[in-house]
Every structure is written in C-alpha cells, then in structure tokens.
Amino acid sequence: MIRSSIYIKPNGPVNSIRMTSRFLGLPIYKVHAFFVDGLLIDTGFTLVRDWFLKLLDTLHPDVVVNTHHHEDHTGNNFWIRGKYDLLPLAHPKTFSYLQEPSQWIPWYRRLVWGCPHPSETGELNSKIQTRKFDFMVIPTPGHSDDHICLYEPNEGWLFSGDLFISEQVKYSRREEDIDSIIDSLKKVAAFHPKKMFCSFSGSIDRPEDAIHHKIEYLENLRDEVGKGLERGLSPREIQRRLLGRGDQFSFITSGQISKQNLINSFLGNSFNLPPP
C-alpha cells in the first residue's frame, strides 16, 4: 500500500515542504514545494491533500505558482482553488495539460502520486511581487515545454522546479529535450544564484557550481555519444557503455523513464538524427 507523509523545514524566510510517498514504510519518491512571504511554489501531489491543506491553513498563501504541469507539482491545484479561492499561475501551456490530466498520467504515476482533478491556471506575468520580494519568471523548457523557474535577484534565490534534479542523471523521461535542458541551465547560471531551491533535491547552497557541474556532465555525455556514433555503435551499445547495463526504471515505467531515453534525446537533437 502506498502511504504519504509531509514535513516542513524552515530555511531562513523560505519554508521547504517535503512530501514523500512510501511503500511498506520505505520512501519511493519525494518532492518539495516551497513557501515564502505568502507565495506558494507548486502544490505537491494529490495523495497528501489533507495534510497539505492543513499546513496551508497555518501558512495563509496569497499567491500560488506552478513551475510546470506534472502531477507532483499541480496535484492540489483544484483543492486550493476551492478552499482559498486562489487561482494558481503558470506558463500559458500549462492550462491545457490540466484540463484532462487523466489523459496523460500513466498508471505508475497515478499509483505513486494520485491523479489530480482537472483544474485551471492563470497566466504568469514576467514578475511575481510579494510584500517583501520580487521574483523574476524565467521560461526554462526542457524537462517539459511549460517549465519555468523563479529568481529573486536581491536575495539570489533560484527556485528551479525540476530543471536541475541533480548534478548527474542517468535517466530521462521520453518527452524531455536534453539540449533545451542544457540551454535552460545556462540561462539560470547566468544570474549567479546564491541559493537554489530544487523540487527534487531541496535546498542547495552552492548552486552556481552545481549547475555548471551538471552542464559539464551533460555536454561531456553528448560528446561521448558522438564518439560512439563515429565508432559505429548502436544506441543500445552506447547506452550500456556510458550509463551501465541495468535499466530498472524502464521496466517499471514501460519505457517512459529510462537510460535509453537520455541517449535517444542526444541522438535526436544534437546529431539531427531520428530517435531509434
């Protein structure tokens, strides 16, 4: 049985809200939402709805922003709109995804996070202003076509959604665009952030170094994929040599998340070849 838990941790004026789904007591996935000065960034997944809403009763949000449409970031939009009369704001493309989430959420993600009710979003402007802070809205496609980050220039805070994840990744969603991810990472690195709040990894104290390490890792991986092509290796052989033979996520997700997707994204984008 899947159970969920929620935990809030203050980090200066920013509150990190960590939500974890568990199977037989063991954590299988976690995601963070963030709250600062009345601004709620992402709404978590549906399975933590009751705890999440009780927490919001104590935080009193004024503005809600979604970094992108995925159900672990928008899962409680419907309930927040109904209870607090707050319309979450997001990229213009997010609206259409959230009209019928049951059409695009696969079974394993419904099991781990639940399937949100259809909901609406309002369109973000270029800035979000709270009582004390001004946040820039930065389009950062790649993980999804509607992904955005928020940056507070006076504090140097970067709220990165699922753009960063971690310095080294071996798996990719089928729909991710790796070249766009690299471009978006370079875009946010140019702001020289002092603190990053990542939906996957939580708070990161040396974000500029971490982002540059990830860019370097992905660009080196792209170079190695190119060398594999020059040697006549198949996409599967390239994957095994660069990322290892095992690919358990591919089995669990029916190929929606896999090592091969990461290689295929390089093949289809960087070398102008159709994915195998």
What average pLDDT score do residues 41-66 get? 96
Q: Which residue pairs, CB below 8 angstroms and at least 24 apart, start in 7-15?
A: 8/55, 11/197, 11/203, 13/37, 13/132, 14/157, 14/197, 14/203, 15/59
Q: Which amino acid is at 267?
A: L
Question: Using 50, 70 and 90 to split pLDDT, how confident is the model at 272?
Answer: very low
**Residue whose entry in the numeric block shows the structure tokens 């190695």:** 224
**Residue whose entry in the numeric block shows the structure tokens 């709220």:** 159
Proportion of the chain above pLDDT 70, given as a percent: 95
Task: Spell out the residues 6+ positions from residue 245 whose beta carbon is closer than 8 angstroms to its own.
Answer: none
* Residue 168 DSSP one-character state: -
Fold of 2-219: Metallo-beta-lactamase; Chain A (3.60.15)
Q: Which runs of E-coded beta strand occur in 1-124?
A: 2-11, 14-23, 26-36, 39-41, 63-65, 89-90, 122-123
Q: Where are the domains of the chain?
A: 2-219
The pTM assigned to this predicted structure is 0.94
Task: Spell out the residues 6+ positions from residue 202 whose beta carbon is closer than 8 angstroms to its own.
Answer: 16, 18, 32
Q: Which amino acid is at 47?
A: L
Q: Give the rounded distance of the alpha carbon of 88 from its chain centre.
A: 17
The confidence score (pLDDT) of residue 1 equals 66
Q: Which runs of E-coded beta strand occur in 37-133?
A: 39-41, 63-65, 89-90, 122-123, 127-129
The confidence score (pLDDT) of residue 141 equals 98
Tell me the pLDDT tens digit for each residue of 215-257: 999 999 999 999 999 999 999 999 999 999 888 888 888 889 9
Average pLDDT, the chain: 93
Tell me the pLDDT tens digit for each residue of 133-146: 999 999 999 999 99
